[in-house]
């Protein structure tokens, strides 16, 4: 029932990271050559990881304009209800 962009966004990120961290793509970035004195694999792994964290943080932002009261159950309750138990 919890629908809305938030959910789609997090699934998109999940799939994107899955692709980045699984073999076909992993083979490309998994290189021990140095770039600016730092291994490419080390740089790219932490880079993708950090980017995923930033994008998650953006996706999880609370939108200020959402009403503070809980929406009726069954609707897109994605922001307002979370604050309430």
List residues binding other proteins (CB under 8 A).
1-2, 6-7, 10-11, 13-14, 17-18, 21-23, 26-27, 30-32, 34, 36-39, 41-42, 45-46, 49-50, 52-54, 56-57, 60-62, 70, 73-74, 77-78, 81-83, 85
| Least distance between other proteins and beta carbon 24 (Å) | 10
| Least distance between other proteins and beta carbon 64 (Å) | 13
Whole-number Cα distances in Å, 9 to 27, 36, 57, 58, 72: 26, 33, 11, 10, 23
Q: Using CA atoms, how far apart are residues 20 and 38, in angstroms rounded to an integer? A: 20
Q: Chain-centre distance of CA 56, in angstroms?
A: 3
């Amino acid at each position: 029932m919890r629908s809305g962009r938030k959910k789609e966004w997090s699934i998109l990120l999940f799939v994107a990271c899955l692709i980045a961290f699984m073999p076909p793509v992993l083979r490309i970035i998994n290189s021990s050559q140095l770039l600016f004195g730092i291994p490419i694999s080390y740089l790219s792994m932490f880079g993708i990881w950090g980017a995923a964290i930033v994008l998650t943080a953006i996706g999880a932002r609370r939108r200020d304009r959402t009403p503070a009261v809980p929406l009726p159950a069954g609707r897109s309750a994605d922001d307002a209800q979370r604050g309430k138990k």
